Chain A
Amino acid sequence: KNEVEQSPQNLTAQEGEFITINCSYSVGISALHWLQQHPGGGIVSLFMLSSGKKKHGRLIATINIQEKHSSLHITASHPRDSAVYICAVTHSIIQGAQKLVFGQGTRLTINP
């Protein structure tokens, strides 16, 4: 069993739908990251959170430390949201460098 599990692995939806991607982890963490990987391969950090909820535009990320679970929500989804969304947790910090454990990613496709 992977230390970071995402679901679903693939998600196809129509433009405008509300999207939820889930992430569960089994290790102790100091932070959780949501990343977006574009079709070309580059990765952008969307959120870093250690408690509660963060919102940026149409994106919302929540985390429940007790349940070791996080969700990424996209409201009013748009075809440009199509990407792979990756959940990663900071498992430890060694002399200032973060050791991250990554989920396998969720491939999201939004159809017009």
Chain B
Amino acid sequence: DGGITQSPKYLFRKEGQNVTLSCEQNLNHDAMYWYRQDPGQGLRLIYYSQIVNDFQKGDIAEGYSVSREKKESFPLTVTSAQKNPTAFYLCASSMWARMTGELFFGEGSRLTVL
């Protein structure tokens, strides 16, 4: 079955460490997204990518980095520069199109900084 796989589901990090969250999709979607979710707040866009080797900053990109070397993969690195990294992170994808398309989400990764 097609879908999005995020890993790990839970991750603990010490302050000052970089961590990378994996996101893989087999839906043949061009567009991929990373969102952050904090309690009581709506999802906020961190980065998005329309096509391989291209990506754009979202609303809260500071302290994060991404790469898009393959169509199927869009990993997110939470760097030590991110001041408040403890959050729930969701990856999503959609078809590239001039019109809107349905979004598909992964199961999420919960990051806790100790």
**Which residues on the A side are within 8 Å of B50 (C-beta)?**
94-97
Contact of A41 among B33, B45, B48, B110 (CB under 8 A): B110
Report the interface size class on chain A.
20 to 34
**Which residues on the B side are within 8 Å of A48 (C-beta)?**
100-103
Q: In the complex, A31→B94 CA distance in Å?
A: 14
- B103 near A96 (CB under 8 angstroms)? no
Q: In the complex, A86→B48 CA distance in Å?
A: 20
- At the interface, yes or no: B76 with Cβ under 8 Å from chain A? no
> DSSP class of A's interface residues: helix, strand, loop or mixed?
strand
- At the interface, yes or no: B46 with Cβ under 8 Å from chain A? no
Q: In the complex, A35→B30 CA distance in Å?
A: 21
- A97 near B98 (CB under 8 angstroms)? no
B76-93 interface (Cβ within 8 A of A): 88, 90, 92
- At the interface, yes or no: A27 with Cβ under 8 Å from chain B? no
> Which of A13-21, A73-81, A100-108 is the contact stretch?
A100-108
Q: In the complex, A95→B49 CA distance in Å?
A: 9
- Contact pattern, B 18-57, Cβ under 8 Å of A = 1, otherwise 0: 0000000000001101000100111111001111000010
- A4 near B42 (CB under 8 angstroms)? yes
Q: In the complex, A104→B37 CA distance in Å?
A: 10
List residues of B whose CB falls within 8 A of some A CB. Answer: 30-31, 33, 37, 40-45, 48-51, 56, 88, 90, 92, 94, 96-108, 110
Extra 7 A-B pairs, beta carbons < 8 Å, given A30-B99, A45-B103, A98-B103: A2-B42, A4-B42, A93-B98, A93-B99, A96-B98, A99-B48, A104-B42
**22 A–B contacts, CB within 8 A, in A order:** A4-B42, A30-B100, A31-B100, A33-B102, A41-B110, A43-B92, A43-B105, A45-B102, A45-B104, A48-B102, A50-B100, A86-B42, A86-B43, A88-B42, A94-B50, A96-B50, A96-B51, A96-B97, A96-B98, A97-B31, A97-B48, A97-B94
